[in-house]
Amino acid sequence: MVVAWVLMAALFSVSWFVNRERTLEAARLAWSLFREVLPMFVIVLVFTSLSLGLISEEVLLELLVGRGLLVGSITGAVAGSIAAIPSSVAFPLSAILLDKSVPYTVIAAFTTTLMMVGVVTFPLEREYLGFRAALVRNLAGLAMALVVSVAIGCFFGELP
């Protein structure tokens, strides 16, 4: 958290010295971007709190944590392939799950499929690439998520 603030402060001062007008534009952009995602943000936050509090964490986290990394990662990958949420909401949500002891391996499966595999956007992709190429690209994304998950798992010591 401190790193983000320090980096932001440093880059902002540099930007301010170089071009004041553009720095103000950056702040305005940041504000309008924030206002754009705020509704979705609040909705995801409320539903996450509700589901973690009411369905009891144990039941909900059972699939993501309790049955081992493989089941957890598959669950994460399925969720990531189907869900279509912007990264400005997805990564904060991932941080919450991480806080609730969901392993990095599972998070990586979720975020990578979220980026690379899109069930919802498949029709759009097919229009440009054709059915075969779009299908193969999405499957390749799924395979990639697997490799990234394993690498992340090894890096954070969750996998042997």
Partner 1 sequence: MPFWVVLLLAFAAFVALSAALHFEPGNRCGADFLAFARTMAGLLPPTFLLVGLFYAWVKRETVEKHMGSESGVQGYFWAIVLAGTIVGGLFVALPLCLVLQKKGASMKVILTFLNASMICRIPMTVFEASFLGVGFTIVRFAVSIPLLILIAWGMSSWLGEGFRISEP
- Stretch 41-80 residues interacting with partner 1 (CB under 8 A): 41-43, 45-46, 48-50, 52-54, 56
Q: Residue 44 CA to chain centroid, in angstroms?
A: 13
Amino acid at 124: L
Residue whose structure tokens are 């979705």: 40
Q: Which is nearer to partner 1, 66 or 121 (CB)?
A: 121
The reply to whether 3 sits near partner 1 by the rule CB under 8 A is yes
Q: Give the nearest distance from C-beta 42 to partner 1 in angstroms.
A: 4
Residues of this chain, 97-136, that bind partner 1 according to CB under 8 A: 98-99, 104, 107-108, 111-112, 115-116, 118, 121, 124-125, 127-130, 132-133, 136
The reply to whether 23 sits near partner 1 by the rule CB under 8 A is yes
Amino acid at 7: L
Stretch that binds partner 1, among 27-35, 65-73, 74-82 (CB under 8 A): 27-35
Q: Give the nearest distance from C-beta 135 to partner 1 in angstroms.
A: 11
Q: Give the nearest distance from C-beta 70 to partner 1 in angstroms.
A: 19
| Three-state DSSP state, 9 | helix
Q: Which is nearer to partner 1, 127 or 160 (CB)?
A: 127
Is 102 within 8 Å of 61 (Cβ atoms)? yes
Label residues 28-52 b or e (16+ Cβ within 10 Å = b).
eeeeeeeeebeeebeebeeebeeee
Amino acid at 77: A
| DSSP structure class, residue 67 | T
Number of residues located near partner 1, criterion CB under 8 A: 73
The beta strands (E) that lie in the chain are given as none
Going by C-alpha positions, the residue among 143, 152, 144 that lies closest to residue 108 is 152
Position among 13, 87, 119, 131 found at the interface with partner 1 (CB under 8 A): 87
